[in-house]
A and B are shown apart, each in its own frame.
Chain A
Amino acid sequence: MGFFKEMLNNNRRKSRPMPGKSTLTPRPVFPTVQENIQYLKEALFHTDDLVRQKVSIPGYTSEFLFMYTMCDQSKIREEIFKPILENKDGDLEGILISMRANKHDDLEKVIDLVVKGNAVLFIEGMEDCFVIEVGSSHVRNVTEPNNEKVVEGSHEGFVESVSINLQLVRKHIENRNLVVKRYKLGNETKIEAVIVYLQNLANPELIEEVDRRIQNIDADNISSSEFIEEYIEDKTFSPFPQLLHTERPDRVIGNLLEGRVALLAEGSPTALIMPVTFFAFYQSPDDYSFRSLQGSFIRFIRVCSFVFAIALPAYYIAVVSFHYEVIPEDLLLPIKSSIENIPFQPILEALFMELTIELLREAGIRLPGPVGQTIGIVGGLVIGDAVVKAGLVSNTMIIVVALTAIASFVVPSHEMSASVRMLRFPIMVAASLFGFIGIVYSLMIILIHLCSLESFGTPYLAPIAPFRWKDLKDTIIRMPQWALRQRSQDPAPQKLNQQSQPVEEERSDD
């Protein structure tokens, strides 16, 4: 039991001692260039991409060392050789200044810097060495993320570099309260991860909790933000995602302004937002760029799609196998004639079609663009048509499955879409065993689970359970911007009011 308990609770629950960060003893710089270079080469195990090169600074014997795989040749020319050539008769001080070199006296630190893509300059007889930044960087352009397209609004998307992502966020929140906290994660990978929040909004307890969970990660391989998710979420074995993934800066900014925390990490364009509620997964930046009525309409349809995606096939199975008396009279004959000749039970039909759609989806992703589309058409039209003609699946089942698939792809978040698609299978099985009773029971279990789920201490199903009337204004519908006077309560922000009372002014419509 204890083992399962630990497994289900994520071992983070117990406050473990901080993982022992191995601290290396500082190693002072040797007096001769030769000794220094030898030490570095030993420390890096004579890796072949480490290159040494002599430079002639008048009056000094000097040599520099860099990893050519991590450095930019033109930068080396620009930053190292050019200053020396230009200052032929100048003093060493001047040369170093124009090199923009940093003084270091600990060789261990210098080794880490060399691995990162810096060049290190040793000068005979000096007690310090000089580190010059010549790293090459390849950064993708800031483009609109493919998986989170919007019709209107900003088309910026995050890239794989934390510093650029942070810049994208800061550009839109010019505020001294925006705080960035850095972490080095992964004992071997040592990637940079940051959490971002607004000091005057985010709840200090929340920050503390997030900080504690991140500090407690003790793993060798953390190579992107998605890796971190499973270490810090509340219940890993819940079918529902408890952190919101997004590649859109505007989504991150919107959430920061509600008092939430965003986590960004080097190597992935995905930001994780915490804490989130169930309904956050059904919000899209589009709702805010449209006007309130249209935004509300679209969002309402999206939330309804959750119910459709999760229960429609189960409802159909229950109706045709248990409660055919529910079908209206005029529909009875068409449905009966289409089901009559199918040799399988409805549940088998449904499972077959649902799994086919899952296969098509997966195949469409893996194949290159144009081929993926072809697969979609071949799968959707040809197989769908042929399967009915062959008498394997009924017409109505195809309609139900197709509607369900569309409904499950409406969710603006991929993780939620995946969990919805997964959850409908148990409900389908329950419906085929017990009819409506089975559906109601499995939905009740899901609701109970949602009620008990928490994301970083805030209830997952807020503002419906616990019921907060005031927060409903931006949940299933979106009230006009000026009516959203207060932030939603679920992340427990320090400041609830976000705008002053709208001025009552006479507005005539004529």
Chain B
Amino acid sequence: MSNRLPPGPAIDWDHGRIDLSHGSGGRAMAQLIDELFVAAFDNPILGQMNDQAQFDAAPGRMVMTTDSYVISPMVFPGGDIGSLAVHGTINDVAMAGAVPMYLSSAFILEEGLPLADLRRVVASMAAASREAGVPIVTGDTKVVEKGKGDGIFINTTGIGRVPPGIAIGGDRARPGDAILVNGTIGDHGMAVLSQRESLGFETTLKSDSAALHGLVARMIAAVPGIACLRDPTRGGLATTLNELATQSGVGMVLDEAAIPIRAEVRAACELLGLDALYSANEGKLIAICPGECAADLLAAMRSHPLGAQSAIVGRVVADADRLVVMETAFGGRRIVDWLAGIQLPRIC
């Protein structure tokens, strides 16, 4: 508890709400930081209580990434905005093959937010950070007037260290490489969509939100020559593969029958006129490696709990047009294009 602050009213965690004083830089803000964030994220570097985190740099190549989380609803089956903000940024670090070391977190809170909601999100964030072994070492809190935000926005930045000998990047895919994924596609997007008040279909689907750095460590130990890793978040598998194809100057051919998709996700997509290939994921990665390493990489992935349903879903080909093409289960070929606009249900 706070021992650096002058005395003041206790925070009413059960019925209180965020007000503008929580972002004013005054006593109420310091109290919120001490009693909530510092208590939950508790670690020696954060405990320095400076305006910045100080730590020794590791030798070698570092990676740094930042991401903002604005998901609605903020709590969804399988996670919430807090755990997502930890997993998502850890995954962006891990997609370089790097070992995530530290996170920062910045909150933008809307006036009127129930403190109980905030406490729940922060607790979930702290649990995700502890489980991943990646501490949150610095942070910031701002409060905006009611109507200027949507409850909670969170930005997290992550830094990590790339092990020697690892060179992973979106420009490294070559014809002949294999394309792998670590499990079922589209779970997160459909789980979140099912919770939108306007949709509200009943499903047992859960978000796949998870930190993937443990899986990645096992993958690069088995196949150090992995060319590309990327997490297919917004835009889904289809859009991420198009990014990689463009960046590497190659084409890709997918095998529709090999892409793991849950029956519930397929059924929901059929019903809503959506395509699971464009549905977001938060615990999935795409790996591209030389064809001759694919079997080893697949075995390594399947040996990890977050890769049990891994599959080889396609191959990299030479294609000046850099198209992603899918051989469909029906026997045709179709272009898997960039997502145009936003994915919207058809109307009839």
A and B interact physically = no
